[in-house]
Amino acid sequence: MEHIPLNFPFLAAALLVAISFYIIIFKKNLIKLIMGIAMLASGVNLFLVSLGYRAGGTAPIYTDVPEGPMVLAVPQALTLTSIVINVAVLALMLTMVIQIHRHTGSLDSEESRKMKG
């Protein structure tokens, strides 16, 4: 891990967030939209975890701890919470898409749209 430049994970997170915003704004397929939101969540989670990383650090488990620095525990706790919440959000969105497909027979956001203006 020491050989990876420290800002590399941040670049990856920024790239993920940028791509997912492109998908969310421009893609018409509802499943792709959900995938974009899942990617946005992963990007934010990657950002949080890499915030807490310290070069050469060990896992923040306080029993029988080896010498040297520890990575921060708080961002990892935040990430776990965020993962759990996002599973719930994604599941709910998928059930709604199933219902939309049942009613309109389409997954295209232009065709399944009923409400305008």
Partner 1 sequence: MDTLITHSSILIIGILLLAAFLTPLVGRVSERARNILVIGSLAFAAALVFALARDISFNGIHVYALGASSPGLATPEGFMVPVRIVLEVDGMSILMGIIWSIVALAATVFSLSHMSKETGQTRFYTLVLLMVAGGFGMMFTGDLFNLFVFLEITSISGAALIASRTRFADTQEGGFKYIVISSVASLMVLFAIGVLYSQYNLLNVGALAQAMQYTMLDRMALVILIAAFAMKLGAVPVHMWLSDAYSVAPVSVTVLLIAASQSCMYALMRTCFTLYGVTADLTAVGWIIIVSGILSMFIGVTMAIRQTDITRLIAYNCICESGFMLVGIGVGLAVLADPGALAAYGTTAISGAIFHMINHALFEGLLFLAAGAIFYRIGTRDLNQMGGLGHTMKFTAVFFLLGALASSGIPPFNGFASKILIYESVYQFSPILTIIGIFVSIITLAVFIKVFFSAFAGAPLPRYKDVKEVPRTMIAAMAVLAVMIILFGLFPGLITDWIIRPATDALLDQAAYINAIVGAIP
Q: Which residues bind partner 1 (CB under 8 A)?
A: 17, 24, 30, 33, 37, 40-41, 44, 47-48, 51, 72, 74-75, 78, 81-82, 85-86, 88-89, 92-93, 96-97, 99-100, 103-104, 112-115, 117
Whichever of 58 and 104 has its CB closer to partner 1, that residue is 104
Contact 54, 69 (CB under 8 A): yes
Nearer to partner 1, 59 or 74 (CB): 74
Burial grade of 43 (CB within 10 A; 0-12, 13-18, 19 or more)? buried
Q: Residue 37 in contact with residue 90, Cβ under 8 Å? A: yes
Nearest approach in angstroms of CB 34 to partner 1 is 8
* Smallest separation (angstroms) from partner 1 to the CB of 8: 16
For the CB of residue 97, give the shortest distance to partner 1 in the complex, in Å.
7
Q: Is 110 helix (H, G, I), strand (E, B) or coil?
A: coil
C-alpha to C-alpha distances, 25 to 3, 32, 54, nearest whole angstrom? 36, 11, 35
